[in-house]
Structures are given as structure tokens and as C-alpha cells.
């Protein structure tokens, strides 16, 4: 029995996360950043249409196009007009790429902008030299179509990225901007971000709750699906916690605000999602390395291609065109976006479904899980203990008196057993006495002085350790958990509580079986209860009567057998075990997100969500690998074509065709990422 009196663990150190910024444009952050992102999209769109308008006159002025359509429209100064129009395209249309190129040189991190900037500068400089006397054919129309297609590609790609992070912005928009604040004389409408602890707000029917807090008066049904993924409206009465952003049903109620808006559950979720989108996992780092190598390969291949064609007697213009095409087609764009797009989509989608990813590596590693260790109370079971029997062993002591004395000790605890005893006291309208010298006996129970008597409420393990005989006639069925009450060193009686198995648990364990993942029950409860739950659900095995500090050892033992272990626990008394597990999943943590040692937090305690998490982790990893394979494979095929391997067979790619192929590959990656879904 895990009779643990909860204390909040300090907030985990988030500074360990790598918050380095991702590939350009792939992490539209909150607020201002989102605004800047939409301005960038509009800027690329405007530049694209200006270049598009100039493309037709430039093409009609180009000698190569005129020859192709069989006309000769050359006139005095036509080459200078062509030069003037192309210069506008190069500087206005190419500006984002030129500034990006300079930025990457300064950062000593050559990438996509470096390649595009280099390619368009080579094409432009060579064409200008032709206008002013060098023999050969200019590249102006190729340069214009190349810049136009690049701008279009970037515009489409940035819209895809904005779409991938739309879920995150939806989370931000959940927070209402105004709240009805209850003052002594009247109700004032105030801005949500001005609310502070202990303010009282009114929530009217159909409105969103403006702040985390506790219901002061009134009751209603709340829809928390956007925050927890739980579709059924939840009944909330006086004393219940409410989360900012949840939608009120038909009742109205007053809420005492727990903390300022910036500390609310929703703000923490948004920060977590944003951090997780920025943090780089091993897969992301792999993609970054591949993109860097691709940049080096592109430059080397481009120069080698130029030298090969020029030294084998081809005209300078042809050799230049091959080099520009190789460099453009080899842009590691799709590769650079392959992972960030999936990351942005998966983290935001998870948050919407009640899975909060704090550690990207833990999430991506969920595909490797071979064993899931479940904490019983509140995960596989409902977590609501109801008193099933009260037995007094002292004829002078009535059942209700035993309950009254026990409840005094339990009023300070948040443990499910304590909640069950307190609920029974409330139902019987028993007044709870005060306690003195309160002390928690780790994992075994509690002790205190009540009305001058020394009282202990303890687990069967405590009796065993202290060699106290279990009373004759003691009966408890397999599903009951028992606490013993000791008054002034004499065993006075016991209280049995039972906890129902969740209806979703069996299906969750069954899905794990289908995925060939073992499920193990790890509990502080007695062996009989553990065996009964384990057998009912068809689990692989169980480990019972384990104290919180021993859970860590059990996890280690499994890891030594070569298992990749995911541990689920409530994140407070299970903190060491969660930290030891390969993947720590804190369940049912509601608003206490920051206080967990787990890499992943599940808002609900539903075991179905744990299975959902594993399947979603696998789906996310699949998408990343698909994108990486596509982005790499496309380059393997396109690069030789661009270099002119099939030139003698009459197959040659123009720079514009190279740019189209590069854009298509990027859009395929973006669409594939957008198709990621959470299966429930």
C-alpha cells in the first residue's frame, strides 16, 4: 500500500534542455514571433508576384527564348533593358537569399541560403559580364525563373510550417482575454493577465474559464477536451479545481484564482510545447548533420561539374549552367525541414490530446519500449478508494469513533486512501478533530496525537515489521486495501477500502500485448490485491508491497535484464523511479506540470493514453524517417541528372527545372508531416 503523504517536489531544471533554434523559419514561436512569421509569409508572396510580373518581358527579351520560338526582336539597347529588369529581379527577388547567404557565412554555418545565394550570384555575375562584352549566352531568364520558383517554394513551405504550429496557436487562443472579476460592490470586466492569486471571478454559461482556480460557489459541467483530450464534460462542484481555457456548460459559478495567468496550466503547456519544439532530439541532430554534409557535397559537386564540362571542351555558359543546376537541386532544404516540421506538428498535437512532451528524446524513444511498468492506484484503477468496511477490535470503541480518529490523521494527506476515508466522514457528517505532532512514516502510514491519544494509521507492512499480530477473524477480499488503526500502542481496528479497475485498462493492456510490449504492475499494495488486478487485466506479472524508494531498484533490475522500460507514476512519490526509467511518464498530474521528473506528462490518468503515447511516438518517428529517406533519396537521383550524367542521351535539367524539383521535394516533406495524426 502506497500510503505516502504528498509533498511537492521542486520544479525540474529545464535549463538542461537544448533550446537552440531550429532550421530557419521552422519554429514559429508564440506571440510576436507568430506575427513576424505571417509578415515574412506576406513578404515572400509580394516578392514572388513582382518577379512573376517581370518574368515575361525578361523571357521575351532573351536571345535563347527568341531563337526557340523563331523570332528576332533584338533592338538597340535591348540587352541593357534585359540587364536592368534582371537586376531588379536579382536584388529585389533575391534579397532574402542574399541576406541569408551573408548570415550563414557570418555564423560559419553554410546551408541552404549559402547555396541559393551562391548560385544566383554566379548566374547574375556571368550574365552581366556577357552584356558588357564577354562572348557567350546570358543566363538572365534562367536566373529570373530560378528566383521566382525559389520564392514560391519558400512561400508555400512557410505556410506549411505555420500550419504545423497552428495547434500551438489554438492552445494560446484558448485563454480568454477578459474575465468578470467579483468586487465588493459589483462585477468588473478586467483583462485576464491582470488577475492574481485569491481574486474571485465569475464564469457565466458557455464562457471559457479565465484562470486556474477552485470553485467557490455554484456548479457546472466543464468541457476540458482541448486541454486533456477527454471528450466527456466533467462535473465540477464547490471545492473542485478548474483549469483556464476549459469551456463552461450551462451553470454559472465563482472561482477563487490560484495563481497569475503566466503560471496557469495552459501557459505552462504552451511553454512546454514551445520548448519541446525548439529542443533538438537525436533524430533532429542527425538531419542537421546530413544537411550540413549535403551543403558541402553540393558545393564540391557543383565546382567539379563545372570543371569537368569546361575542361572537356563545352562552352563556358553550359558549364556554368550545369554548376548552378547542381547547386540548386542539391539544396538541403527538404532535409533541413524533414524533422522540424514533424516535431512542430507532433508536439502541438500531443498537447491537444493530453500528452505533454518535456523531453523530445524520451518521446522519440517510446518506439523502443519493451516493458511498461504501471503504478496501480489511479492509473489502472479509478484511484477513488471507497470505504467498504470498518471493523473495531475494541468493544468500547464504535466504528464511527474509529473512523473519526483515523480521519484526523488523513486530513493532511492527498493520498487516494486518505481521500476515501475523508469522503466517508463527510457522508456520515462526522466532525474531524485537530491533530498535534503529525508525522508521516515513509511508505507505511502516519502518526499523530489526537485528543491526548497517540494514534497511528498504518499499512499491513508496518504490523509485520513491528511484529504486531494480525487480529483473528481478519477478512479482506482480494480487491480490498486495508489500513490498521493503533491507539496508544494497541491495535484498535481496521478500515478496508476498495478501488475499482478502470473500464479502459483491459483494452490498453490488450493493445500493448498486440504491440509485443510487456506490462508489469508495480505497487505498494498487498500481493492479494496486486495478483487480483494483474490477473483480471491479463498483465504479464506484478511486483507488490514495494515502498516508493524500492521502486527504483525494481526498475533497475528490469533494465539489467535488457528491457527498455517505461514507468508510469504520479510523479511525486514515484520521482526517483520515473527518473531511473528509460522513459518516465507522469500521470494525472493536472496543474503540477513543472514539478515532475518525468520526460512525458499525461494530463489524464487513463492507461489508454499511455498506449496512445507509444503508438503516436512510433508514428512520429516513422514520419521523420519517411521524410529523411525522401529528402535524401531525391538528392541521390536528382544530383547526377543535374550534373549532366545523361547529357549524351539528351536528358539535361535546366536550373529552373532543378528549382521546381527542389520545391516539390520540400512540399512533399511538408504535406507528409501535416498528415501526422494521434490515434485514440
Which one from 212, 274, 288, 375 is the annotated catalytic residue?
375
Give the Å distances, CA to CA, from 435 to 405, 447, 450: 9, 10, 5
The answer to whether residues 273 and 168 touch, using CB atoms and an 8 Å cutoff, is: yes
Does the pLDDT value for residue 249 go beyond 90?
A: no
DSSP H or E segment with residue 201: strand 200-203
Q: How far apart are alpha carbons 329 and 160 in whole angstroms?
A: 21
Give the cell for residue 507.
483494452
Q: How far apart are alpha carbons 252 and 643 in whole angstroms?
A: 70
Active site residue 375: yes
- The reply to whether 386-498 shares the fold of 345-381+501-619 is no
Give the cell for residue 54.
517581370
Angle at 282 between CA 279 and CA 284, to 5 degrees: 65
Does the pLDDT value for residue 22 go beyond 60?
A: no
Burial (CB < 10 A; 0-12, 13-18, 19+), residue 507, is middle
* Residue showing cell 514507468: 567
For the segment 262-311, what is each residue's pLDDT rounded down to a tens digit?
787 777 777 776 776 666 677 777 777 877 888 888 889 999 999 999 99
Task: Give the relative orientation of helices 140-164 and 78-88 as an angle to the nearest 10 degrees.
Answer: 20
Give the cell for residue 150.
525559389
Q: How far apart are alpha carbons 536 and 544 in whole angstroms?
A: 16
Q: What pLDDT score was predicted for residue 120? A: 87
Does the pLDDT value for residue 34 go beyond 60?
A: no
The answer to whether residues 303 and 324 touch, using CB atoms and an 8 Å cutoff, is: no
* Residue showing cell 499491513: 460
* Residue showing cell 541593357: 80
208 secondary structure, DSSP code: B
Angle at 267 between CA 266 and CA 272, to 5 degrees: 95
Beta strands in 249-318 (DSSP E): 253-257
What average pLDDT is seen over the chain? 80
More confident residue, 514 or 354: 514
Q: How far apart are alpha carbons 121 and 509 in whole angstroms?
A: 60
For the segment 558-582, what is each residue's pLDDT rounded down to a tens digit?
999 999 999 987 655 677 788 888 9
- pLDDT (mean) for 32-61: 82
Q: How far apart are alpha carbons 306 and 299 in whole angstroms?
A: 11
Give the Å distances, CA to CA, from 256 to 193, 196, 217: 15, 10, 9
Q: What pLDDT score was predicted for residue 9? A: 34
Secondary structure in 3-state letters for 591-620 = CCHHHCCCCEEECCCCHHHHHHHHHHHHHH
Does the pLDDT value for residue 656 go beyond 80?
A: no
The pLDDT-based confidence of 336 (bands split at 50, 70, 90) is: confident
> Which strands sit side by side in the sheet containing 234-236, from one edge to the other?
234-236, 220-223, 247-248
Is the backbone of residue 282 left (phi > 0), alpha (psi -120 to 50) or beta?
alpha
| Most confident stretch, 465-479, 524-538, 576-590 | 524-538
Closest CA to 388 of 259, 515, 495: 495
Q: 345-381+501-619: which CATH architecture?
A: 3-Layer(aba) Sandwich (3.40)
| Most confident stretch, 356-370, 408-422, 447-461 | 447-461
The pLDDT-based confidence of 418 (bands split at 50, 70, 90) is: confident
- pLDDT (mean) for 351-373: 85
The pLDDT-based confidence of 27 (bands split at 50, 70, 90) is: very low
Q: How far apart are alpha carbons 272 and 402 in whole angstroms?
A: 46
The answer to whether residues 673 and 343 touch, using CB atoms and an 8 Å cutoff, is: no
The pLDDT-based confidence of 17 (bands split at 50, 70, 90) is: very low
Lowest mean pLDDT among 32-36, 468-472, 538-542: 32-36
Closest CA to 15 of 274, 275, 269: 275
More confident residue, 29 or 276: 276
Q: How far apart are alpha carbons 87 and 92 in whole angstroms?
A: 8
What values do phi and psi take at 634, rounded to 5?
-60, -40
| Most confident stretch, 242-246, 342-346, 507-511, 604-608 | 507-511
| SS3 category, 381 | strand
More confident residue, 238 or 674: 238
What are the beta bridge partners of residue 208? 247
For the segment 83-109, what is each residue's pLDDT rounded down to a tens digit?
999 999 999 999 999 999 999 889 887
Q: 386-498: which CATH architecture?
A: 3-Layer(aba) Sandwich (3.40)
The pLDDT-based confidence of 136 (bands split at 50, 70, 90) is: low
- pLDDT (mean) for 451-459: 91
- What DSSP assignment string belongs to 154-191? HHHHHHHHHHHTHHHHHHHHTS-SEEEEE-SSSEEEEE
In this structure, which topology does domain 176-263 adopt according to CATH? Answer: 2.70.150
Our measurement of the distance from residue 455's CA atom to the centroid of its chain's CA atoms, rounded to an integer in Å, reads 46
| Most confident stretch, 49-58, 284-293, 650-659 | 49-58
Domain ranges in the chain? 28-164, 176-263, 345-381+501-619, 386-498
Q: What pLDDT score was predicted for residue 35? A: 58
Number of H helices, E strands in the chain: 22, 22
**Percent of residues, the chain, with pLDDT higher than 90:** 19
The answer to whether residues 385 and 416 touch, using CB atoms and an 8 Å cutoff, is: yes
What values do phi and psi take at 386, rounded to 5?
-115, 140
Amino acid at each position: 500500500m502506497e500510503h505516502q503523504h504528498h509533498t511537492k517536489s521542486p520544479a525540474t531544471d529545464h535549463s538542461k534542455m537544448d533550446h537552440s533554434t531550429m532550421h530557419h523559419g521552422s519554429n514559429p514561436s508564440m506571440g510576436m514571433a507568430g506575427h513576424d512569421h505571417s509578415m515574412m509569409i506576406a513578404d515572400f508572396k509580394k516578392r514572388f508576384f513582382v518577379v512573376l510580373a517581370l518574368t515575361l518581358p525578361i523571357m521575351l527579351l532573351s536571345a535563347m527564348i527568341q531563337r526557340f520560338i523563331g523570332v528576332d526582336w533584338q533592338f538597340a539597347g535591348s540587352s541593357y533593358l534585359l540587364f536592368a529588369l534582371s537586376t531588379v529581379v536579382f536584388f529585389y527577388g533575391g534579397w532574402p537569399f542574399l541576406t541569408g547567404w551573408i548570415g550563414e557565412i557570418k555564423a560559419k554555418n553554410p546551408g541552404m541560403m549559402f547555396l541559393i545565394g551562391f548560385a544566383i550570384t554566379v548566374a547574375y555575375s556571368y550574365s552581366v559580364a556577357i552584356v558588357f562584352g564577354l562572348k557567350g549566352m546570358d543566363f538572365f531568364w534562367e536566373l529570373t525563373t530560378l528566383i521566382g520558383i525559389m520564392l514560391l517554394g519558400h512561400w508555400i513551405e512557410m505556410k506549411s510550417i505555420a500550419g504545423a504550429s497552428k495547434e500551438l496557436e489554438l492552445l494560446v487562443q484558448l485563454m480568454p482575454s477578459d474575465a468578470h472579476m467579483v468586487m465588493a460592490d459589483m462585477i468588473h470586466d478586467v483583462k485576464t493577465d491582470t488577475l492574481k492569486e485569491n481574486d474571485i471571478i465569475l464564469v457565466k454559461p458557455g464562457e471559457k474559464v479565465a484562470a486556474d482556480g477552485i470553485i467557490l460557489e455554484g456548479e457546472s459541467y466543464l468541457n476540458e477536451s482541448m486541454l486533456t483530450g477527454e471528450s466527456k464534460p466533467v462535473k465540477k462542484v464547490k471545492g473542485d479545481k478548474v483549469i483556464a481555457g476549459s469551456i463552461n456548460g450551462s451553470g454559472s459559478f465563482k472561482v477563487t484564482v490560484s495563481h497569475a495567468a503566466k503560471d496557469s496550466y495552459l501557459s505552462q503547456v504552451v511553454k512546454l510545447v514551445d520548448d519541446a519544439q525548439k529542443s533538438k532530439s537525436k533524430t533532429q541532430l542527425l538531419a542537421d548533420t546530413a544537411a550540413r554534409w549535403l551543403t558541402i557535397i553540393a558545393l564540391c559537386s557543383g565546382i567539379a561539374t563545372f570543371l569537368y564540362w569546361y575542361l572537356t571542351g563545352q562552352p563556358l555558359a553550359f558549364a556554368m549552367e550545369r554548376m548552378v543546376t547542381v547547386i540548386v537541386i542539391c539544396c538541403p532544404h527538404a532535409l533541413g525541414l524533414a524533422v522540424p516540421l514533424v516535431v512542430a506538428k507532433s508536439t502541438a498535437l500531443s498537447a491537444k490530446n493530453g500528452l505533454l512532451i518535456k523531453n523530445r528524446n524520451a518521446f522519440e524513444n517510446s518506439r523502443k519500449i519493451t516493458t511498461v511498468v504501471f503504478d496501480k492506484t489511479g492509473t489502472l484503477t479509478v484511484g477513488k478508494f471507497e470505504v467498504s468496511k470498518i471493523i473495531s477490535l475494541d468493544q468500547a470503541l464504535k466504528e464511527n469513533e474509529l473512523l473519526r480518529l483515523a480521519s484526523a490523521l488523513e486530513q493532511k494527506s492527498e493520498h487516494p486512501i486518505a481521500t476515501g476515508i475523508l469522503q466517508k466522514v463527510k457522508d456520515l457528517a462526522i466532525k474531524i478533530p485537530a491533530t498535534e505532532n503529525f508525522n508521516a512514516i515513509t511508505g507505511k502510514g502516519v502518526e499523530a496525537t489526537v485528543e491526548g491519544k497517540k494514534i497511528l494509521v498504518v499499512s499491513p507492512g508496518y504490523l509485520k515489521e513491528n511484529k504486531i499480530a494480525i487480529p483473528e477473524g481478519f477478512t479482506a477480499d482480494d480487491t480490498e486495501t486495508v489500513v490498521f488503526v493503533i491507539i496508544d500502542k494497541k491495535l484498535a481496528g481496521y478500515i478496508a477500502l476498495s478501488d475499482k479497475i478502470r473500464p479502459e485498462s483491459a483494452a490498453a493492456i490488450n493493445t500493448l500485448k498486440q504491440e509485443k510490449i510487456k506490462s508489469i504492475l508495480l505497487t505498494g499494495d498487498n500481493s492479494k490485491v496486486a495478483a487480483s488486478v494483474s490477473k483480471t487485466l491479463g498483465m504479464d506479472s506484478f511486483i507488490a508491497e514495494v515502498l516508493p524508494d524500492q521502486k527504483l531498484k525494481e526498475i533497475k533490475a528490469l533494465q539489467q535484464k535488457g528491457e527498455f522500460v517505461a514507468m508510469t507514476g504520479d510523479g511525486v512519490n514515484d520521482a526517483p523511479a520515473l527518473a531511473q526509467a528509460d522513459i518516465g511518464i507522469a500521470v494525472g498530474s493536472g496543474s503540477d506540470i513543472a514539478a515532475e521528473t518525468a520526460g512525458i506528462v499525461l494530463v489524464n490518468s487513463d492507461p489508454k493514453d499511455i498506449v496512445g503515447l507509444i503508438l503516436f511516438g512510433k508514428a512520429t518517428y516513422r514520419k521523420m524517417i519517411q521524410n529523411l529517406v525522401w529528402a535524401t533519396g531525391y538528392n541521390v537521383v536528382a544530383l547526377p541528372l543535374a550534373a549532366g550524367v545523361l547529357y549524351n542521351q539528351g536528358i539535361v535539367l535546366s536550373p529552373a527545372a532543378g528549382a521546381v524539383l527542389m520545391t516539390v521535394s520540400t512540399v512533399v516533406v511538408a504535406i507528409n508531416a501535416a498528415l501526422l495524426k494521434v490515434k485514440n
